[in-house]
């Protein structure tokens, strides 16, 4: 039985049913020459498969933070940088590692992301 192209990872083009925006920050220099983040721009708007893969509660500086991890798969792109962000369903996801080519065939780009969810106090 022949393996269908793209099925090794378990993703087909039909699985890309979520619309996402890949965002980047302009990098400018301040008066002292330090690099600072500027305005946010859209690098691309693409179809993706977005899967929540983890959730945990962490504590940092006496604050509780809820962290949700996502795996975002899109068709192969070379222009995504580790500092880019994803906008999906009104959420901002930050990349936690550089994007990678899971099958080394330039077919799919996978981005491991996280969303920090603010802790809502109960009334």
Question: 61 or 106: whose pLDDT is higher?
Answer: 106
The predicted pLDDT at position 1 comes to: 36
Averaged pLDDT score across all residues of the chain: 83
Q: Cβ(66)–Cβ(55) under 8 Å? A: yes
CA-CA distance, 100 to 93, in Å (whole number)? Answer: 16
Q: Mind listing the pLDDT tens digit for each residue in 26-85?
A: 877 788 878 777 788 999 999 999 999 988 777 666 677 788 899 999 999 999 999 899
For the chain, domains (ranges, CATH) are 13-117 (2.40.10.270)
Asked if the model's pLDDT at residue 114 lies above 80, the reply is: yes
Q: Cβ(15)–Cβ(30) under 8 Å? A: no
Residue 99: pLDDT band with limits 50, 70, 90: very high
The predicted pLDDT at position 77 comes to: 94
Q: Across residues 80-96, what is the average pLDDT?
A: 93
The predicted pLDDT at position 50 comes to: 95
3-state secondary structure of 64: strand
The predicted pLDDT at position 120 comes to: 53
């Amino acid at each position: 039985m022949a393996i269908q192209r793209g099925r090794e990872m378990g993703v087909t083009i039909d699985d890309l049913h979520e619309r996402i925006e890949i965002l980047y920050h302009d990098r400018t220099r301040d008066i002292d020459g330090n690099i600072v983040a500027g305005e946010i721009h859209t690098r691309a708007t693409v179809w993706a498969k977005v899967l929540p893969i983890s959730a945990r509660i962490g504590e940092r500086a006496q604050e509780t933070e809820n962290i949700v991890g996502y795996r975002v798969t899109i068709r192969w792109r070379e222009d995504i940088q580790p500092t880019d962000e994803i906008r999906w369903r009104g959420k901002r996801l930050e990349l936690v590692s550089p994007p990678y080519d899971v099958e080394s065939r330039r077919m799919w780009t996978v981005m491991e992301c996280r969303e920090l969810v603010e802790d809502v106090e109960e009334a």
